[in-house]
Amino acid sequence: MMLSAMVFALIAVDPNVGTSGFDFIRIAPTAREAAMGTAALAKATSPMNFWYNPAHAAGNEHQRAHFGYINYVAGIHIGSVAFSQRLEQNKGIGVGVVYLNSGSMKRTDERGYELGTFGVSYADLNVSGGWELADFMAVGAGIQGLYGSIDTFFTVGLAGNAAVRFSFPVNGLEGLNVALAAQNLGLTVKPYKTQRDPLPMSVGAGISYDINDAVMFGLDVVKPLDNQIQFSTGVEGWVGDILALRAGYNSLGPDLKSGGGSDILAGLSTGLGIRFRGYQLDYCFTPMVQLGMAHRLSLALTL
Protein backbone atom coordinates (compact mmCIF):
# COMPACT_ATOMS: atom_id res chain seq x y z
CA MET A 1 0.00 0.00 0.00
CA MET A 2 1.51 3.30 -1.11
CA LEU A 3 0.41 5.38 1.91
CA SER A 4 1.68 2.75 4.35
CA ALA A 5 5.08 2.65 2.65
CA MET A 6 5.40 6.43 2.96
CA VAL A 7 4.57 6.41 6.65
CA PHE A 8 6.93 3.58 7.55
CA ALA A 9 9.68 5.39 5.65
CA LEU A 10 9.22 8.34 8.00
CA ILE A 11 9.03 6.31 11.18
CA ALA A 12 11.94 4.00 10.29
CA VAL A 13 14.52 6.77 10.65
CA ASP A 14 14.90 5.70 14.29
CA PRO A 15 17.91 3.39 14.89
CA ASN A 16 15.69 1.08 16.93
CA VAL A 17 13.20 0.44 14.15
CA GLY A 18 13.12 -2.54 11.81
CA THR A 19 10.67 -3.43 9.04
CA SER A 20 7.62 -4.88 10.81
CA GLY A 21 4.20 -3.38 11.34
CA PHE A 22 3.69 -1.08 14.36
CA ASP A 23 7.43 -0.28 14.30
CA PHE A 24 6.74 2.89 16.30
CA ILE A 25 6.62 0.86 19.54
CA ARG A 26 10.41 0.45 19.29
CA ILE A 27 10.92 4.19 19.75
CA ALA A 28 11.85 4.70 23.41
CA PRO A 29 9.23 6.99 25.00
CA THR A 30 11.22 8.06 28.10
CA ALA A 31 14.15 10.47 28.10
CA ARG A 32 16.22 8.75 30.79
CA GLU A 33 16.33 5.33 29.15
CA ALA A 34 16.76 6.80 25.64
CA ALA A 35 19.77 8.80 26.83
CA MET A 36 21.37 5.52 27.92
CA GLY A 37 21.04 4.05 24.44
CA THR A 38 17.81 2.27 25.53
CA ALA A 39 19.80 -0.17 27.70
CA ALA A 40 16.93 -0.73 30.14
CA LEU A 41 16.11 -4.46 30.31
CA ALA A 42 17.93 -5.04 33.60
CA LYS A 43 17.22 -1.67 35.22
CA ALA A 44 15.00 1.31 34.44
CA THR A 45 14.00 3.89 37.01
CA SER A 46 11.33 5.99 35.28
CA PRO A 47 7.65 5.48 36.21
CA MET A 48 7.27 3.93 32.74
CA ASN A 49 9.98 1.34 33.42
CA PHE A 50 7.51 -1.50 32.77
CA TRP A 51 7.46 -0.49 29.08
CA TYR A 52 11.00 -1.86 28.77
CA ASN A 53 10.57 -4.86 31.09
CA PRO A 54 7.28 -5.69 32.85
CA ALA A 55 9.21 -7.25 35.76
CA HIS A 56 10.34 -3.71 36.69
CA ALA A 57 6.79 -3.02 37.90
CA ALA A 58 7.44 -5.29 40.89
CA GLY A 59 10.05 -2.90 42.27
CA ASN A 60 7.93 0.25 42.30
CA GLU A 61 7.76 1.56 45.85
CA HIS A 62 5.40 4.52 45.40
CA GLN A 63 2.62 5.77 43.20
CA ARG A 64 4.37 7.53 40.32
CA ALA A 65 3.28 9.28 37.14
CA HIS A 66 5.09 10.00 33.88
CA PHE A 67 4.47 12.62 31.19
CA GLY A 68 6.68 12.55 28.11
CA TYR A 69 7.09 14.36 24.81
CA ILE A 70 9.36 13.67 21.82
CA ASN A 71 10.04 16.29 19.16
CA TYR A 72 10.97 13.85 16.43
CA VAL A 73 12.31 14.27 12.92
CA ALA A 74 10.13 14.67 9.80
CA GLY A 75 7.53 16.63 11.76
CA ILE A 76 6.56 13.63 13.89
CA HIS A 77 5.47 14.23 17.48
CA ILE A 78 5.17 11.54 20.16
CA GLY A 79 3.55 11.84 23.57
CA SER A 80 3.27 9.43 26.47
CA VAL A 81 1.61 9.19 29.87
CA ALA A 82 1.97 6.45 32.46
CA PHE A 83 1.11 5.51 36.02
CA SER A 84 2.70 2.84 38.19
CA GLN A 85 2.33 1.71 41.78
CA ARG A 86 2.93 -1.15 44.19
CA LEU A 87 -0.17 -3.26 44.84
CA GLU A 88 1.15 -5.47 47.62
CA GLN A 89 4.50 -6.03 49.25
CA ASN A 90 5.74 -8.09 46.32
CA LYS A 91 3.53 -6.95 43.41
CA GLY A 92 3.24 -3.88 41.23
CA ILE A 93 1.40 -2.63 38.17
CA GLY A 94 1.94 -0.10 35.43
CA VAL A 95 -0.36 1.43 32.81
CA GLY A 96 0.85 3.64 29.98
CA VAL A 97 -0.13 5.10 26.62
CA VAL A 98 2.18 6.18 23.78
CA TYR A 99 0.72 8.26 20.95
CA LEU A 100 2.38 9.23 17.64
CA ASN A 101 1.14 11.82 15.19
CA SER A 102 2.77 12.63 11.86
CA GLY A 103 1.09 15.96 11.29
CA SER A 104 -0.28 16.78 7.84
CA MET A 105 1.40 15.13 4.84
CA LYS A 106 0.83 15.58 1.12
CA ARG A 107 -1.10 12.88 -0.68
CA THR A 108 0.06 12.14 -4.24
CA ASP A 109 -0.88 9.66 -6.93
CA GLU A 110 1.47 7.41 -8.94
CA ARG A 111 2.36 10.34 -11.23
CA GLY A 112 3.25 12.67 -8.38
CA TYR A 113 0.15 14.88 -8.63
CA GLU A 114 -1.00 16.29 -5.29
CA LEU A 115 -4.38 15.09 -4.05
CA GLY A 116 -4.65 17.02 -0.81
CA THR A 117 -3.29 15.93 2.54
CA PHE A 118 -3.64 13.05 4.95
CA GLY A 119 -2.58 12.24 8.49
CA VAL A 120 -1.05 9.33 10.33
CA SER A 121 -1.38 8.33 13.97
CA TYR A 122 -0.46 5.36 16.13
CA ALA A 123 -1.28 4.45 19.72
CA ASP A 124 -0.04 1.83 22.18
CA LEU A 125 -1.85 1.00 25.42
CA ASN A 126 0.38 -1.04 27.74
CA VAL A 127 -0.80 -2.73 30.94
CA SER A 128 1.90 -4.63 32.84
CA GLY A 129 2.31 -6.40 36.16
CA GLY A 130 5.37 -7.58 38.07
CA TRP A 131 5.81 -10.05 40.90
CA GLU A 132 8.79 -10.56 43.22
CA LEU A 133 8.95 -14.32 43.67
CA ALA A 134 12.00 -14.05 45.93
CA ASP A 135 14.48 -11.46 47.12
CA PHE A 136 16.60 -12.15 44.05
CA MET A 137 13.98 -12.79 41.38
CA ALA A 138 11.06 -10.92 39.79
CA VAL A 139 8.88 -11.87 36.84
CA GLY A 140 6.55 -9.75 34.76
CA ALA A 141 3.99 -9.89 32.00
CA GLY A 142 2.22 -7.25 29.99
CA ILE A 143 -0.27 -6.80 27.22
CA GLN A 144 -0.39 -4.11 24.56
CA GLY A 145 -3.32 -2.89 22.50
CA LEU A 146 -2.08 -1.30 19.27
CA TYR A 147 -3.88 1.02 16.86
CA GLY A 148 -2.74 2.67 13.64
CA SER A 149 -4.49 5.05 11.30
CA ILE A 150 -3.38 6.19 7.83
CA ASP A 151 -5.83 8.46 6.05
CA THR A 152 -9.11 6.48 5.98
CA PHE A 153 -7.47 3.13 6.74
CA PHE A 154 -6.81 1.70 10.18
CA THR A 155 -5.20 -1.35 11.75
CA VAL A 156 -5.40 -3.04 15.16
CA GLY A 157 -2.86 -5.27 16.85
CA LEU A 158 -2.43 -7.19 20.08
CA ALA A 159 0.92 -8.01 21.70
CA GLY A 160 2.30 -9.46 24.91
CA ASN A 161 5.57 -9.08 26.84
CA ALA A 162 7.18 -11.44 29.33
CA ALA A 163 10.38 -11.08 31.33
CA VAL A 164 12.37 -12.20 34.34
CA ARG A 165 14.90 -10.19 36.32
CA PHE A 166 17.52 -11.44 38.76
CA SER A 167 19.42 -9.50 41.38
CA PHE A 168 22.35 -10.74 43.43
CA PRO A 169 22.12 -9.95 47.18
CA VAL A 170 25.68 -11.19 47.69
CA ASN A 171 28.58 -9.24 49.11
CA GLY A 172 30.29 -7.48 46.24
CA LEU A 173 27.41 -8.07 43.81
CA GLU A 174 24.61 -6.08 45.44
CA GLY A 175 24.32 -3.73 42.48
CA LEU A 176 24.18 -6.40 39.77
CA ASN A 177 20.97 -7.14 37.85
CA VAL A 178 20.40 -9.53 34.94
CA ALA A 179 17.24 -9.78 32.83
CA LEU A 180 15.76 -11.88 30.03
CA ALA A 181 12.79 -10.65 28.02
CA ALA A 182 10.54 -11.45 25.07
CA GLN A 183 8.78 -8.40 23.68
CA ASN A 184 5.94 -7.58 21.31
CA LEU A 185 4.77 -11.16 20.86
CA GLY A 186 1.47 -11.05 19.02
CA LEU A 187 -0.28 -10.39 15.76
CA THR A 188 -2.11 -7.87 13.66
CA VAL A 189 -5.78 -8.47 14.43
CA LYS A 190 -7.15 -6.15 11.77
CA PRO A 191 -4.85 -5.17 8.84
CA TYR A 192 -5.07 -1.95 6.83
CA LYS A 193 -6.40 -3.98 3.90
CA THR A 194 -5.72 -7.69 3.51
CA GLN A 195 -2.03 -8.21 4.33
CA ARG A 196 -1.29 -8.74 8.02
CA ASP A 197 2.08 -7.23 8.87
CA PRO A 198 4.09 -9.11 11.51
CA LEU A 199 4.72 -7.35 14.80
CA PRO A 200 8.26 -6.22 15.75
CA MET A 201 8.91 -9.20 18.03
CA SER A 202 12.25 -9.60 19.77
CA VAL A 203 14.10 -11.46 22.50
CA GLY A 204 16.87 -9.98 24.57
CA ALA A 205 19.09 -10.06 27.62
CA GLY A 206 20.35 -7.21 29.74
CA ILE A 207 22.74 -6.51 32.57
CA SER A 208 23.11 -3.50 34.83
CA TYR A 209 25.56 -2.74 37.59
CA ASP A 210 25.42 -0.03 40.22
CA ILE A 211 29.10 0.78 40.62
CA ASN A 212 28.18 2.84 43.68
CA ASP A 213 25.22 4.93 44.85
CA ALA A 214 25.91 7.56 42.18
CA VAL A 215 27.05 5.65 39.08
CA MET A 216 25.39 2.83 37.14
CA PHE A 217 26.12 1.02 33.89
CA GLY A 218 23.74 -0.88 31.59
CA LEU A 219 24.12 -3.19 28.59
CA ASP A 220 21.42 -4.88 26.47
CA VAL A 221 21.73 -7.39 23.65
CA VAL A 222 18.52 -7.79 21.62
CA LYS A 223 17.64 -9.92 18.60
CA PRO A 224 14.65 -8.57 16.68
CA LEU A 225 13.03 -11.24 14.54
CA ASP A 226 13.11 -8.86 11.56
CA ASN A 227 16.58 -7.40 11.96
CA GLN A 228 20.16 -8.01 12.98
CA ILE A 229 21.33 -8.42 16.57
CA GLN A 230 21.71 -5.07 18.26
CA PHE A 231 23.38 -3.98 21.44
CA SER A 232 22.92 -0.84 23.46
CA THR A 233 24.88 0.48 26.38
CA GLY A 234 24.70 3.47 28.66
CA VAL A 235 26.05 5.05 31.81
CA GLU A 236 24.44 7.35 34.36
CA GLY A 237 26.15 9.41 37.03
CA TRP A 238 24.56 11.58 39.71
CA VAL A 239 26.13 14.76 41.02
CA GLY A 240 24.88 14.87 44.57
CA ASP A 241 21.20 13.94 44.60
CA ILE A 242 20.13 16.65 42.18
CA LEU A 243 21.78 16.37 38.75
CA ALA A 244 22.27 13.27 36.59
CA LEU A 245 24.47 13.07 33.49
CA ARG A 246 23.89 10.27 30.98
CA ALA A 247 25.37 8.95 27.75
CA GLY A 248 24.64 5.93 25.58
CA TYR A 249 25.23 4.12 22.33
CA ASN A 250 23.00 1.94 20.15
CA SER A 251 24.59 -0.31 17.54
CA LEU A 252 21.79 0.28 15.02
CA GLY A 253 22.56 3.99 14.88
CA PRO A 254 25.25 3.59 12.17
CA ASP A 255 22.45 2.52 9.80
CA LEU A 256 21.75 6.26 9.55
CA LYS A 257 25.19 7.09 8.16
CA SER A 258 25.13 8.96 4.87
CA GLY A 259 28.80 9.70 4.24
CA GLY A 260 28.78 13.15 5.82
CA GLY A 261 30.89 14.59 8.58
CA SER A 262 28.15 14.08 11.14
CA ASP A 263 28.27 10.28 10.73
CA ILE A 264 30.56 10.10 13.75
CA LEU A 265 27.53 10.90 15.93
CA ALA A 266 25.40 8.02 14.59
CA GLY A 267 24.19 5.80 17.42
CA LEU A 268 25.14 8.16 20.22
CA SER A 269 22.76 9.68 22.74
CA THR A 270 23.18 11.95 25.71
CA GLY A 271 21.05 13.61 28.33
CA LEU A 272 20.62 14.87 31.84
CA GLY A 273 18.16 14.76 34.71
CA ILE A 274 17.22 17.15 37.49
CA ARG A 275 15.61 15.79 40.65
CA PHE A 276 13.94 17.85 43.37
CA ARG A 277 11.84 16.31 46.11
CA GLY A 278 9.19 14.21 44.38
CA TYR A 279 9.82 15.60 40.89
CA GLN A 280 12.32 14.61 38.21
CA LEU A 281 12.78 16.22 34.80
CA ASP A 282 14.82 14.30 32.22
CA TYR A 283 16.08 15.36 28.80
CA CYS A 284 17.61 13.32 25.97
CA PHE A 285 19.30 14.50 22.80
CA THR A 286 19.70 12.02 19.93
CA PRO A 287 21.55 13.18 16.81
CA MET A 288 20.14 11.39 13.77
CA VAL A 289 22.86 12.51 11.35
CA GLN A 290 21.50 14.32 8.29
CA LEU A 291 17.89 13.48 9.14
CA GLY A 292 17.91 15.92 12.02
CA MET A 293 17.76 15.73 15.79
CA ALA A 294 15.34 14.13 18.24
CA HIS A 295 14.63 15.77 21.59
CA ARG A 296 12.89 14.00 24.46
CA LEU A 297 11.48 15.45 27.68
CA SER A 298 10.07 13.37 30.54
CA LEU A 299 8.54 14.52 33.80
CA ALA A 300 8.24 12.02 36.65
CA LEU A 301 6.15 12.69 39.74
CA THR A 302 5.91 10.80 43.01
CA LEU A 303 2.26 11.01 44.08
State residue 63's pLDDT score. Answer: 94
* Terminal alpha carbon distance of the chain: 45
Mean pLDDT of all residues in 253-258:
72
Long-range contacts of 192-195 (CB under 8 A, 24+ apart): 192/1, 192/4, 192/148, 192/150, 192/153, 192/154, 192/155, 193/1, 193/153, 195/1
Q: Could you give the CA distance from residue 29 to residue 97 in angstroms, rounded to a whole number?
A: 10
Record: fold of 2-302: Porin (2.40.160)
CA distances from 20 to 4, 16, 227 (A): 12, 12, 9
Q: Could you give the CA distance from residue 168 to residue 134 in angstroms, rounded to a whole number?
A: 11
State residue 223's pLDDT score. Answer: 96
Whether the full predicted model's pTM is greater than 0.85, yes or no, is: yes
State residue 275's pLDDT score. Answer: 96
The percentage of residues in the chain with a pLDDT greater than 70, rounded to a whole number, is 91
Name the amino acid, one letter, at 88: E
State residue 151's pLDDT score. Answer: 83
State residue 261's pLDDT score. Answer: 61
Residue 299 confidence (pLDDT) above 90 = yes
Mean pLDDT of all residues in 38-56:
97
Q: Could you give the CA distance from residue 116 to residue 149 in angstroms, rounded to a whole number?
A: 17
Helices (H), the chain: 2-11, 31-35
Domain boundaries, the chain: 2-302
E-assigned strand segments in the chain: 64-71, 77-88, 91-108, 114-134, 137-150, 153-167, 176-190, 202-210, 215-224, 230-239, 243-250, 268-276, 279-287, 293-302
Q: Could you give the CA distance from residue 238 to residue 283 in angstroms, rounded to a whole number?
A: 14
* Of residues 38 and 7, more confidently modeled: 38
Q: Could you give the CA distance from residue 97 to residue 24 in angstroms, rounded to a whole number?
A: 13
State residue 58's pLDDT score. Answer: 95
For 182-220, write each residue's pLDDT tens digit: 999 999 999 988 888 899 999 999 999 999 999 999 999
